[in-house]
Amino acid sequence: MPRNTRRTTLADIAQAAGVSVATVSKVVNGRGDVAPQTRARVQELLHQHDYLAPVFRHTETAESPTIEVQFQAGLKSYVAETLEGIIDSAAESGASVVISKASRAPHWARDLVSAGRRAVIAVTSVYTATHLNELARAGLPLVVLDPLHLPDSRVNSVGATNFAGGLSATRHLLSLGHRRIAYLGGPSMAVCNQARMHGYRAAMEAAGAPVRDAYVRQGEFTYETGLLGAVALLDLDEPPTAIFAGNDEIALGVIETARTRGLRIPEDLSVVGFDDTSLAQMASPPLTTVRQPLREMGGAALRTALRLANGEKVESHHIELATELVVRASTAPPREATSANG
């Protein structure tokens, strides 16, 4: 009798075992959250059907799962560190990663499928309903890392506790005695920027410190925003004694503007950043900042993308990892408070 040459699928194994495709996928990929009896039954069926598990495919004929990682902005320190997390996690998972600039060419999602992509990770990229529909038609799962806008319920995303980070940064400055604290942030419509700013406002309100309209400025998450925004803030009749910057690049621009004016950091002006990229440690002085776990966020995005590519369900369509204040040398009590105590 001729041997059936049709390739056995995960669905075939799942039907024979009386379990879901996701459960079979977990066994194939060595996941631990499967009951021993179920695992044994599935493994026996895999053996009977000569199913070639991914671990052997990686070393023999077939390719490892390939994830497309797209980003829109330049390859700055923030993006580089998230990519490190994605790449490290891919290496641990036996997956491959292709990095590209976000494309909106006709049928771009279909082209990704033709190229063998199993899922897409977008780093701070903007996806409209049209883009989401095209991805859905192509059957490509999408994970957005640190979304700029509130993600559609169809989109899985990974971010950080931006509100809590803004709160802790501002509380730190308040605890040093600052009351004239400004916020210099990124795009006004960016979700992460809004959350950081609201954290700043909440801390100021709780402390009874007034937030002047002129003390809140928006721009881009760039060094240039820090340079120009600091000029506007320091030119005020009553300039701030501390500036909470929406990210580390903005903070470095603030420090440079202060330097050109002969101001000392932190004696004349305290500065706090956000992200804790390598720039924060290389700054002069080293930057007090809110650590965003960028590598961990990249790893979480990669693992989520792989689960979705394997047809598994995830517990939540949005994951937030905790931020943490890292105090270095760019913050100190305001000069007037030091003088009064001296």
- Render pLDDT for 72-116 as a digit per residue (tens, 0 to 9): 766 678 888 999 999 999 988 889 999 888 766 767 888 888 888
Q: Within this chain, do residues 220 and 310 fall inside the same structural domain, yes or no?
A: no
Find residue 142's DSSP bridge partners: 120
CA–CA dist 48, 208 (Å, integer) = 71
Token pair 């992460």: residue: 192
DSSP string, 50-78: T---HHHHHHSSSPPPEEEEEE-S---HH
Q: Within this chain, do residues 79 and 134 fall inside the same structural domain, yes or no?
A: yes
Q: Within this chain, do residues 247 and 116 fall inside the same structural domain, yes or no?
A: no
- Render pLDDT for 157-179 as a digit per residue (tens, 0 to 9): 999 999 999 999 999 999 999 99
Q: Within this chain, do residues 210 and 330 fall inside the same structural domain, yes or no?
A: yes
Q: Within this chain, do residues 216 and 286 fall inside the same structural domain, yes or no?
A: yes
Q: Within this chain, do residues 77 and 180 fall inside the same structural domain, yes or no?
A: no
Q: Within this chain, do residues 122 and 188 fall inside the same structural domain, yes or no?
A: no
Per-residue pLDDT at 327: 98
Torsion of CA 155, 156, 157, 158, to 10 degrees: 180
Cis peptide bond prior to 285, omega within 30° of 0: yes
pLDDT-based confidence at residue 295 (cuts at 50, 70, 90): very high
Report whether 127 contacts 144 (CB < 8 A): yes
Calculate the CA 148 to chain-centre distance: 10
Q: Within this chain, do residues 180 and 267 fall inside the same structural domain, yes or no?
A: yes
Quote the number of domains for the chain: 3
In a domain, 126, yes or no: yes
Q: Within this chain, do residues 175 and 272 fall inside the same structural domain, yes or no?
A: yes
Report whether 319 contacts 300 (CB < 8 A): yes
Q: Within this chain, do residues 150 and 200 fall inside the same structural domain, yes or no?
A: no
DSSP string, 184-248: E-S-TT-HHHHHHHHHHHHHHHHTT----GGGEE---SSHHHHHHHHHHHHTSSS--SEEEESSH
Question: Which CATH number do you get for residue 52?
Answer: 1.10.260.40
Question: Which CATH number do you get for residue 312?
Answer: 3.40.50.2300
Highest-confidence segment of 23-27, 140-144, 171-175, 191-195 = 171-175
pLDDT-based confidence at residue 321 (cuts at 50, 70, 90): very high
Mean pLDDT across the stretch 274-290?
96
CA–CA dist 9, 60 (Å, integer) = 18
Mean pLDDT, the chain, rounded, equals 87
Residue 280 has pLDDT above 70, yes or no: yes
Which residue in 224, 226, 147 sits closest to 193, CA to CA? Answer: 147
Q: Within this chain, do residues 202 and 256 fall inside the same structural domain, yes or no?
A: yes
40, 59, 78 — which closes off a domain? 59
- Domain assignment of residue 90, given as a range: 66-159+294-321
CA–CA dist 26, 36 (Å, integer) = 12
44, 59, 74 — which closes off a domain? 59
**Beta strands 181-184; 242-245: pairing state:** parallel
Report whether 95 contacts 66 (CB < 8 A): yes
Q: Within this chain, do residues 212 and 89 fall inside the same structural domain, yes or no?
A: no
Secondary structure of residue 163 in the 3-state scheme: helix
In a domain, 151, yes or no: yes
How much is the pTM?
A: 0.78
